[in-house]
Amino acid sequence: MSVPKVRLLGPVLALGLVAAACGSSSKSTSAPTAPGATNAPSTTTVTLASATLNGSGSTFQKAFDQDQIQAFQAKHSGITINYAGGGSGKGQQDLADQVVDFAGSDAAPVKDPTKDKGGPLLYFPTVVAPITVSYKLSGVTTLTLTADTMAKIFSRQIKTWDDAAIKGDNPSASLPSTAITVVHRSDSSGTTNNFTRYLKAAAPSSWTIGAGSTVPWPTDTTAGNGSTGVAQAVKATDGAIGYVDLSDAKAAGLTFASVKNSAGKAVAPTLDAASAALVGVTVNADLTYNPLNSAAPDAYPITSPTWILVYKTQTDKAKGAALKAFLAFILTDGQTNATASDYAPLTKDLTAKALAQVDQIVVPA
């Protein structure tokens, strides 16, 4: 439900042009050596049969997907890829109904993925990104919060900014007695899911509202539609606090708090700190993993994962080949390009595992 983003159009266009240049030169020579910015170890550019891929789902990864789609299409002129957004749940439903070829999802599957109509599903981690705790409080430009304090703020146990708990987290700051306005998402969202799951994991005694893409917020909180809606509401109200994706928080010019991670270090929401959250995280055999509340020393603890879901057994030859090439592109060039779209790349280890999984996709001969 988030509004399409237009930021960073310049770099993306430039990137598209570079990719286009590579694409046109590589068509004549069978062994392309991509110059400069694009290094493609496993994606040897083969001419793909023309196909149209449709995807829907997570809006959290939409900006990243669209940038990568643009770059990929510039390389492969016969391929058209559409990514519709709509929410993680919609993506999963669309994939189950077989009306799309891939789905974006911010959550590991709730139901058994092997029991889907179209056969077993494969999960491809693509990028991660921090969820900021953004606030507006005149006179306060730096703020550190612990999970417990955040849990109390967002469940309305703490109602003013000069509360002892916030003071305890920020001994040197001079905090006004402004009332706190909590802003959350009005639409159900993967961001809410990951934020509340983090609070539940990191502050189990203070966070009793539960976790999910919609939770029963206290009635004296405010809601905004989409990340941009929350950002707008936070920006408009002195004393407001809300959780917003990094890219939207940056675009709205919000100030965001540093969060104390489980190693006790206050970390600001940056892309490096988000990538750091993946260090040492247990990755399951199906490539699902949980970077929230990471134990890594430099990790930003509210780091949201996201996946692309596809059926292991593809039914259409051209589509299957295009899908494999697109996934490989995201896991190679896409990783290098991620920061330009305000997303953090995966670790080398995880990327390698995901790339190996691309080969498991079965395409009819």
Nearest to 162 by CA among 146, 178, 183, 145: 178
Is 190 a binding residue for another protein by CB under 8 A? The answer is yes
11 vs 109 by CB, closer to another protein: 109
The token pair at 258 is 């540093």
Is 88 a binding residue for another protein by CB under 8 A? The answer is yes
Spatial distance between the Cα atoms of 85 and 354, rounded to a whole number of angstroms: 22
173 vs 211 by CB, closer to another protein: 211
Spatial distance between the Cα atoms of 265 and 251, rounded to a whole number of angstroms: 26
- Helix/strand/coil for 224: strand
Scan residues 291-350 and list those touching another protein (CB under 8 A): none
8 Å CB contact between 50 and 78 = yes
Among 16, 23, 32, 86, binds another protein (CB under 8 A): 86
2 vs 38 by CB, closer to another protein: 2
Is 90 a binding residue for another protein by CB under 8 A? The answer is yes
Spatial distance between the Cα atoms of 239 and 219, rounded to a whole number of angstroms: 17
> Pattern 46-75, binding to another protein, x per CB under 8 A?
-------------x----------------
Is 87 a binding residue for another protein by CB under 8 A? The answer is yes
Q: How far is the CB of 82 from another protein (least distance, A)?
A: 17
100 vs 322 by CB, closer to another protein: 100
| Cα atoms in the 13 Å half-sphere on the side-chain side of 82 | 7
Residues 6+ apart with CB under 8 A from 151: 199, 202, 203, 206, 207
Is 356 a binding residue for another protein by CB under 8 A? The answer is no
> Pattern 205-224, binding to another protein, x per CB under 8 A?
-----xxxxxxxx-xxxxxx
Among 132, 170, 194, 232, binds another protein (CB under 8 A): 232
Q: How far is the CB of 175 from another protein (least distance, A)?
A: 23
**Cα angle 100, 101, 107; round to 5:** 80
8 Å CB contact between 317 and 324 = no
Nearest to 56 by CA among 110, 105, 124: 105
Q: How far is the CB of 18 from another protein (least distance, A)?
A: 34
What's the distance, Cα to Cα, between the start and end of the chain in Å? 38
Among 157, 188, 262, 339, binds another protein (CB under 8 A): 188
Question: By the criterion CB under 8 A, which residues form the site for another protein?
Answer: 1, 59, 86-90, 92-93, 110-111, 186-190, 193, 210-217, 219-225, 229, 232-233, 236-237
